[in-house]
Chain A
Amino acid sequence: MATQDSVAEGREAPRVPLLYDPKLRSIAYQVIVFVGLFAFVYWIVGNTVANLQRANIASGFGFLQSRAGFDIGQSMIEYTSDSTYGRALLVGLLNTLLVAVLGIATATVIGFIVGVGRLSKNWLINRICLVYVEVFRNIPPLLVIFFWYFGVLSVLPGPRDSIELPFNTYLNGRGFYFPKFLWGEGSGLIVIAFLLALVFAFFVRRWAYKRQEATGQQFPVFLTSLGLIVGLPLLAFVLTGMPLEFSYPELSTFNLRGGMQVKPEFLSLYLALSFYTAAFIAEIVRAGVLGVSHGQTEASFALGLRPRQALRLVIVPQALRIIIPPLTSQYLNLTKNSSLAIAIGYPDLVATGGTALNQTGQAIEIVAIWLVVYLGLSLMTSAFMNWFNARMALVER
């Protein structure tokens, strides 16, 4: 290309008027946009501050330290009406996380089952899964929540006529009650045994893998690990003299007391979010599996893999590459939809924040906290899923 180079050198760069210089232009546009944006933010902040001052409304985050004065129905940490607003918001955040994490796990499981069911050659299973997906995908999530809360759980009988289920569990309009485990002395050993079993299982797996690489012989890793993880804690349990008692739910004047209670507000939100999101996940899974070319299945059969092995070792790893990115947005949706909790009185971040907002009147601060928390949760979920996606991505050599 020597000739071309010499031609280029020999010619002077064409003079472009400043107005038409693309580089200068792009800089100018960015400056204009930045100045505009800044002026806008400046105007908003100034206007807000002026109006707050004019109306003599308190501002700042100092209120987080003062006594909340209201009670919260469900809390994972110690909370009374003497706790601070900050703690009330924390209780709400934990409740949001609880329903989001459990919802994501359940929705994923249901979604995978239904998604694979949609591909089944069995006509009945196939149609049932199709109906499930079409029904739940086409109803607004709020209605699904109302369906569970008003349609299913609130028509259950009152505490005096609770439905008795096996193992001293009860179901009534106030929720689901089951015995509480009261661990006695020496129960710490059981936890240690469980952790030990996990470590052992890990090493067994590594050893078995190496042996298979070297000799081609297989080892029943799954059964051995299961034996270890169940057996060791069980052994510890028996050896320490079974330090376990139960607190059973019993009827008192108003409610069932003792034991553990899962409230209908949580239950309906959790079930609704799981079933609703699962319909979307099912379609993503179906698309992922169908996205793997049929040649891959045929090739793995040709290599002598059994259908289950082919699915586990060839199809699913490739399908996951298609599934994970859209799955992330479903997880984000589920987390954000959990704020619909307010309609049925589940004390999530929006509900407790709303109460604090009303008691203190500090709308801007509380709304800012909501925004930051939901943004933070979404970014963290995305970051985790991106990491997971990178791990699952096809490694090209």
Chain B
Amino acid sequence: MKKLITALLGSAVAIAAAPASAATLDDVKSKGYVQCGVSTGLAGFSAPDDSGDWTGLDVDYCRAVAAAIFDDPDAVRFTALTAKERFTALQSGEVDILSRNTTWTISRDTALGLNFAGVTYYDGQGFMINAKKLQGINSALQLSGAAVCVQSGTTTELNLADYFKANNMEYNPVVFEKLEEVNAAYDSGRCDVYTTDQSGLYAIRLTLANPDDHVVLPEIISKEPLGPVVRHGDDQWFDIAKWVYFAMLNAEEYGITQDNLDEMLKSDNPNISRMLGTEEGSKLAADLGLEEDWVVRIIRHVGNYGEIFERNVGAESPLKINRGINALWTKGGIQYGPPIR
């Protein structure tokens, strides 16, 4: 009987169904919108605003993809995913693109069958404590014996284990699946320490009952390059995901903004006219599978990288995070868009 089953399964594998159609772009065009996976609510990156519209850096990236394809930043539908659900949702095709403060690691790139399209935000993991309750603690190295709140299924959870082990410290993990649950547990005093990416800590601090009581400790214990993700097996879609982002970086580099876009369209700088699709006979957009004015659409509807950064997490936002290493390479940062040519 066992042999029989094995044989049956074997034959099932052998005549495995023909691979399903891999052209995500065609699917997206035919349904008329991009399905984008975002977080369940992280201020500055992806969170619904007062009127229920999604806003944030990760959200704006998805809107840029929609703008490039449909010339409409609202041709996108958002699926809120927990850290645990996100990869399965992308693998199974429930979402076309995952833009959900997700850290780029080798195992996700390989074993999970995913492709990272770039790094929209260079982050690092930090710790937050209630300074009012825990006076005298100003370094993560003093945290031995603490109860630490952390979201399950994140690189954060793994870095936390590694950091405490490397420093011979004990801790007590309090693990939840949803961000809101972690926030509630930390706010109610179930744990002493909250750990996640530093940008996240600043965002979460704003939502706590008394934000001023909490401080983010100086240590950064990991590299967390966050970026949009697509699944393996569709190179064209992967290219679009990459170059929408690189276009936003290049636009910032050449000073193309939402405000001066119309002037820039008349520019005779070959780099700018090539990017904006005004160069005669250019096949760049067609090779990517998009219309000639795809960059114009992105900038008009969403803006360049600098604009979406400042609007969502930078000086113009409640988070007030410095550009830091997320500045362009020409300004002392490491954000670097490969040339569009």
Contacts and interface: CB of A to CB of B under 8 A. Distances in A.
Nearest to A367: B88
Contact of B111 (A45, A81, A355, A361): A361
A70 B233 CA distance: 30
Instruction: Sort chain A's interface into a size bin.
Output: 35 or more
Interface residues of B, number: 58
B161 A354 contact: no
A357 B83 CA distance: 11
A158 B112 CA distance: 41
B190 A264 contact: yes
B84 A354 contact: yes
B220 interface: no
Interface in A16-46: 38, 41-43, 45-46
Interface in B1-49: 8-9, 12-13, 15-20, 22
A253 B145 contact: yes
Interface stretch (B173-181, B310-318, B328-336): B173-181
Nearest to B22: A54
A361 B13 contact: no
Given A173-B189, A254-B146, A254-B147, A49 B184 contact: no
Contact of B153 (A55, A154, A359): A359
Contacts of B157: 70-71, 355
Interface stretch (A3-11, A222-230, A324-332, A343-351): A343-351
A72 interface: yes
A46 B153 contact: no
Contacts of B111: 57-58, 360-361
A351 B82 CA distance: 13
Contacts of B160: 71
B266 interface: no
B127 interface: no
B188 interface: yes
Interface in B98-137: 107-108, 110-113, 133-134, 137
Given A264-B190, A354-B84, A257 B175 contact: no
Contacts of A265: 174
B295 to A, nearest CB: 30
B176 A345 contact: yes
Contacts of A344: 176, 181
A173 to B, nearest CB: 5
Given A54-B233, A69-B162, A345-B185, A255 B173 contact: no
A59 B17 CA distance: 17
6 contacts: A55-B232, A55-B233, A70-B157, A253-B144, A344-B181, A358-B154
